[in-house]
Amino acid sequence: MNLEITPPRALRGSTRVPGDKSISHRAAMLGALAEGDTQIENFLMGADCLATVKCLAEMGVSFTGPDENGRLTVHGRGPAGLKEPENVLDAGNSGTTIRLMLGILAGLPFFTVITGDASLRRRPMKRVTAPLSMMGARIWGRQEANLAPLAVRGGELQGAGFSLPVASAQVKSALLLAGLSARGETRVVEPAPSRDHTERMLQYFGAEIHKEGLTVWIKGGQVLAGRRVTVPGDISSAAFLMVAAAVVPGSDVTIREVGVNPTRDGILEVLRAMGADLEVSNQHQLGGEPVADIRVRHSRLKGVTIGGELIPRLIDEIPILAVAGALAEGELVVRDAAELKVKESNRIATVVGELRKFGVEVEALADGLRVRGGRPLTGASCASHGDHRIAMAMAVAGLAARGKTVIHDAGCVDVSFPGFASILSSLRVD
């Protein structure tokens, strides 16, 4: 599927974005580990989250839904209700699915093989498999259990303490999920804050979990109880609409009930620093997660330099921030983001290559990129590289470029933002 974009006169209106991808994954997984039903509203109907549901179903978890409105009921029977799958588990393109599922599988007393698509099979897994092996799980795979397919023989885990070299919500979450079924206590120390959806949701499902500064710990053997979960709108998806409204003249867009978890709201901080006209209102809680309405109006942006502890709070938003930088005055510089090289694509290389097609002056750095803004963009023929965030970032660039932009192989957008094109169309003023 190709996506064609032409510049509108403006973007205006109010909308919602699909449910948060990270929270949808975790709600399905914890619902499967809990005893009793978990009813999920606004579950993300994207390919990644559906891969999680399929993996859990292969292990005997029963579901009702999801329906077209994102309602999903997980009929949990506790960890004892999961069984050895007959088939290889397929995580598709989802790094969250495979890494968090490894944490669950490590604590289950049976044999499993899990893999993914060609892109996922190139992504590093030893950051998860090595500490899980230290807890007692037996894991085999290519390059000494660094690359999928991975075979896991779980059970009889012993809690342990870990000091992570890089802030990673996926690694932290895998260890906490393994710790839930381990003997004793599992403790994780991070060098900087990463998203804390797993900790919040474990507590919401009844687990006793403790956090002090950059350290989080959990005792094994706890029983989770099924809950009702309403998934907030995904701030990573909302980021594309925020930047679109900021860079298209005459725009005024409100996105309702977006998750504004403080470990995920770096995009708001950076857009404000760039001079965006951005307003956050109607703040409240949904299932332990803070949400709000976000209104963005067109404004003149300026370049900024970002790095350090801010990066884990906006790692997924860097492709769209690069587009904002291309349309700002001055330079946008991103540092300390080498993690971008091992996402669905090498996002440093793909962002640089695709933005140059619009006439943007941009260069790759060893751990980030530099974008020189202030030059008009010309419509381009872009490749998605099979990466949903690259496809959507280039679509937003097309909204602010002269002429037509075509994003080839844009079906990957459905991984995180089904309905992206229709929402853009609904906001257009031509």
Q: Is 54 annotated as a binding residue?
A: no
Q: Is 26 annotated as a binding residue?
A: yes
Q: Give dist(CA 366, CA 46) in Å, integer.
A: 32
For residue 99, the model assigns a pLDDT of: 98
Q: Is 170 annotated as a binding residue?
A: yes
Provide mean pLDDT across the span 211-215: 96
Q: Is 16 annotated as a binding residue?
A: no
Decide yes or no: CATH 3.40.50.300 for domain 21-230: no
- Helix axis angle, 95-106 to 21-33, nearest 10°: 20
Q: Give dist(CA 181, CA 103) in Å, integer.
A: 10
Span 258-290, pLDDT tens digits: 999 999 999 999 999 999 999 999 999 987 899
Name the strand (E) or helix (H) holding 203: helix 197-204
Q: Report the alpha-carbon angle 277-282-283, nearest 5.
A: 100
Least confident of 219-233, 242-256, 316-330, 341-355: 341-355
Q: Is 200 annotated as a binding residue?
A: no
The answer on pLDDT for 342 being more than 80 is no
Provide mean pLDDT across the span 57-64: 98
Q: Report the alpha-carbon angle 124-352-338, nearest 5.
A: 35
Provide mean pLDDT across the span 218-242: 97
Q: What amino acid positions are annotated as catalytic residues?
A: 316
Q: Is 22 annotated as a binding residue?
A: yes
Q: Give dist(CA 362, CA 25) in Å, integer.
A: 34
Domain with CATH 3.65.10.10 in the chain: 3-19+233-429, 21-230
Whether the CB-CB separation of 307 and 334 falls below 8 Å is answered with yes
CATH class of 3-19+233-429: alpha beta
Under DSSP, is residue 224 helix (H, G, I), strand (E, B) or coil? Answer: coil
Q: Give dist(CA 299, CA 120) in Å, integer.
A: 38
Q: Is 372 annotated as a binding residue?
A: no
The answer on pLDDT for 340 being more than 90 is no
Q: Is 21 annotated as a binding residue?
A: yes
For residue 286, the model assigns a pLDDT of: 86
Q: Which residues of 320-355 are buried (b: 16+ CB within 10 A; e: fewer)?
A: bbbbbbbbbebbbbbbbbebbeebbbbbbebbbbbb
In 3D, which of 155, 116, 113 has the Cα closest to residue 132? 155
In 3D, which of 58, 115, 61, 112 has the Cα closest to residue 92? 115
Could you tell me the pLDDT band of residue 69, with boundaries at 50, 70 and 90? Answer: confident
CA distances 54 to 36, 89, 166, 357, Å, are: 19, 8, 30, 38
- Look at the pTM and tell me if it is higher than 0.95: no
Name the strand (E) or helix (H) holding 23: helix 21-33
Whether the CB-CB separation of 405 and 398 falls below 8 Å is answered with yes
Span 104-119, pLDDT tens digits: 999 999 999 999 999 9
Q: Is 285 annotated as a binding residue?
A: no
Q: Is 219 annotated as a binding residue?
A: no
DSSP state of 313: G
For residue 415, the model assigns a pLDDT of: 86
For residue 160, the model assigns a pLDDT of: 98
Under DSSP, is residue 264 helix (H, G, I), strand (E, B) or coil? Answer: coil
Q: Is 48 annotated as a binding residue?
A: no
Provide mean pLDDT across the span 383-389: 95
Provide mean pLDDT across the span 48-72: 96
Q: Give dist(CA 362, CA 344) in Å, integer.
A: 21
Span 11-39, pLDDT tens digits: 999 999 999 999 999 999 999 999 999 99
For residue 341, the model assigns a pLDDT of: 85
Q: Give dist(CA 260, CA 266) in Å, integer.
A: 9
